[in-house]
Amino acid sequence: MSEASISPSATASPAGTSGRDQGFSVVLITLFRGPMYRDVDERLWHQLLKHQAAEADHVDVLGLQVVVDEAEGYAFLRSQPDDDRPEVPRLMARHALGFQVSLLLALLRKRLAEFDAANADARLVLTRDEIMEMLRLFLRDSTNEVKLDNSIDNSLKKVVDLGFLRRLRGDENRYEVRRIVKAYVDGQWLADLDGKLDAYLALLGRGEEDGGSPGARRDEEPT
């Protein structure tokens, strides 16, 4: 799901790039640090589009590709498919996510799709309580509310760290859903989501009837 960041020193210019303007270097360093958003820095976004072909050539030698969604206003680096360059080691490692984090990402993606279908606004903002209610249906009832709150807060922090949620300045209980989640939870995965959630609820119900728990598992990336 997420890919480990690497030191910006890995972006040292190959032969023939020393004459490019400073914007090229700043864009590459920013991309190696994480996703880039148009609404965060429009000037830097302009530089990204200006040098897009050169950026693609630069990271290609590292087995990476630049993904740019101009309509949604985000860009990020992604490893090329392993089948395309089997001899090139992966620069960015894949990490499996816990079930609750994967579930939260899927629910946020679904909520964003519903929001886009019914609203003209560009930003989906959810409160912590709203996110908690989204997750509560799929979490076992617990008399230990503090433990449940801590569990949800840990998942929220992880999703914020991954860049799919952004806390609103001045209000730590409200979060903007970043549209880059659409690139990681694709349309086919989303179309299959209802069936997957129904299956999990059935598993959860069987666990309760048996007096046990369906247990947590580490899911693959929802891409």
| pLDDT tens, position by position, 121-152 | 778 999 999 998 888 877 766 566 778 788 88
The tokens of 121 are what?
């606004």
The reported pLDDT for the residue numbered 94 is 61
For the chain, helix, strand, coil in percent to 5 are 50, 15, 35
| pLDDT tens, position by position, 59-93 | 988 889 999 999 889 999 988 876 565 566 565 55
The reported pLDDT for the residue numbered 146 is 78
Quickly name the fold that domain 97-219 has.
Arc Repressor Mutant, subunit A (1.10.10)
Give the model's confidence band at 45: pLDDT under 50 very low, under 70 low, under 90 confident, else very high. very high
Q: Give residue limits of the domains in the chain.
A: 8-79, 97-219
The reported pLDDT for the residue numbered 125 is 94
More confident call, 216 vs 155: 155
More confident call, 5 vs 115: 115
State the DSSP string of 154-191.
HHHHHHHHHTSEEEETTEEEEEEEPTTHHHHS-HHHHH
| pLDDT tens, position by position, 157-205 | 999 988 899 999 888 889 999 999 988 877 666 667 667 666 666 655 5
Whole-number Å distance between alpha carbons of 101 and 152: 9
Query: Would the pLDDT of 211 be above 60?
Result: no
CA-wise closest residue to 12 among 63, 59, 67:
59
